[in-house]
Amino acid sequence: MARRLARRGVDLSVGSFTIRLRSNIPCVARGLELLYADYALGPAQELVDFEIRIHPPGVLRRWLRPQVTFSFEGHAPFKPLPRAQAFALFEWGLNWVIANNAHQYAIVHAATVEKSGRAVILPGMPGSGKSTLCAAMVCRGWRLLSDEMALISLQDGMLWPFPRPIGLKNASIDILRNYAETVVIGETVADTAKGTVAHMRPPRTSIDAARTPACARLLAFPTYKSGAPVEALPLGKAQALMRLVQNCFNYSVLGAAGFAALADTVDRCECLSIEYGNMARAIEILERRAMNGEHG
Amino acid sequence: MPSLALSSRLRFLKRTWDDGCVVYVVDSGETHLLSSACALLLERLESGSASLRVLSDEFLSLSDDLTQEELSGLLEDIIRSLRKIGLIETGENQP
């Protein structure tokens, strides 16, 4: 794997995208082997959607300290990061690539999961607890669509999966490690811009269903508050749409089509805000609302 | 008396729900959250321009708990906010 990754690269099929990754950084190869173990990792093909490289920067920077650079189509949109963050940089960079290029979707900063054909969108800013909640729901049998972005088709409003390793931060890492026996978590990296980070391997079932879209039925804006009781409050649809707009990465690019896609999503969903300190109870409420929601 | 009309220059999309109305202005790309009362006036003006007096009478007939004075204040607020984002304009004089 490491040799193939460093030379011709590896083509990674995730949902409706094929990404070619090349890297000579050992922790990227280790991350792929562990966290993308269940994906189709084919040899380089003729056509891919996106080409990404994770590589050491120029000579002077390399001489100063061991760092890595993210390159997309030959350009480096970010400053180099410490070498230990190379795998996380791949994940963060891939999010950026999709958010800036996949304009066939309205892309909302949100975790998305599905069960029995009913998808839940959990939008939220960093620190809202959406990824932790999403990871815990996945451990409880929900299908992972994405822990980072809701891909809402402009054509038919369906949510398209983009299941990748779930990004966990700080205390969430140990919470999830202890949450279920089957959880596989990759290397922990301290002192990143987001604190200590690690990624959780998605379930095989979610990867196998990565080309099956789902219909959103519940739009829940989570806020984690340590020790707080779970409180789910109905959210008006106009308010919900404004919050969805605020969390949409490519809203300004999409124009009227983006507005229509988000408004239709709100129309389809029961909308609520949920403050929680107890994950199991929050999941119970979300499941009940998703399965028995007002939209049948 | 001058009439109020939807802006002839701005194109916009709107969705209305119980808690208000969200308007997307195509020309500016801006999105605005408006009150249900604003939505009501926008919907009224979609069917044609009207003088302030006519609008005031129509709104009064819809409300059973507002005085004429309260309604005038409400209409002024609504018109001010819709004018601010350019959705309505003053049209030709109407009787």
Domain boundaries, chain A: 2-101, 105-292
The predicted model scores a pTM of 0.92
Q: What is the mean pLDDT of residues A55-65?
A: 69
Please tell me whether residue B8 adopts helix, strand or coil conformation. Answer: coil
Closest CA–CA distance from residue A253 to any residue of chain B (Å) = 9
Chain B touched by A238 (CB under 8 Å) = yes
Of A236, A259, A266, the CB nearest to B31: A259
Per-residue model confidence (pLDDT) at position A296: 41
State how far residue A69 is from chain B, nearest Cα, in angstroms: 34
User: What is the predicted pLDDT for the residue at A45?
Assistant: 67
Residue A220 in tokens: 């829940």
State the Cα–Cα distance between residues A199 and A207, nearest whole angstrom: 16
Q: Which chain A residues have a beta carbon less than 8 Å from that of B37? A: none
Q: What is the average per-residue pLDDT within A38-57? A: 84
Q: pLDDT tens for residues A146-178?
A: 999 999 999 999 999 999 999 999 999 999 999
Q: Is the separation of the CB atoms in A152 and A106 below 8 Å? A: yes
pLDDT in tens, B73-90: 888 899 999 999 999 988
pLDDT given for residue B71 in this prediction: 84
Task: Find out whether A93 and A22 touch, Cβ atoms under 8 Å.
Answer: no
- Whether complex ipTM tops 0.85: yes
Q: Taking Cα atoms as reference points, which of A116, A119, A194, A118 lies closest to residue A150?
A: A119
- The partner residue sitting opposite A242, judged by closest CB among B16, B22, B29, is B22
CB contact at 8 A, A273 and A242: no
Helix-then-strand count for chain A, H and E: 11, 17
When comparing pLDDT for A125 and A213, which is higher? A213
DSSP assignment of A152-194 equals EETTT-PEEP---PEEEETHHHHHHHTT-TT--B---EEEETT
**Residues A76, A70: contact at Cβ < 8 Å?**
yes
**Considering only A34-48, A101-115, B40-54, which range has the smallest mean pLDDT?**
A34-48
The per-residue pLDDT for range A208-257, each reduced to its tens digit, is 999 999 999 999 999 999 889 999 999 999 999 999 999 999 999 999 99
pLDDT reading at A126 higher than 60: yes
pLDDT band at A285 (very low <50, low <70, confident <90, very high): very high
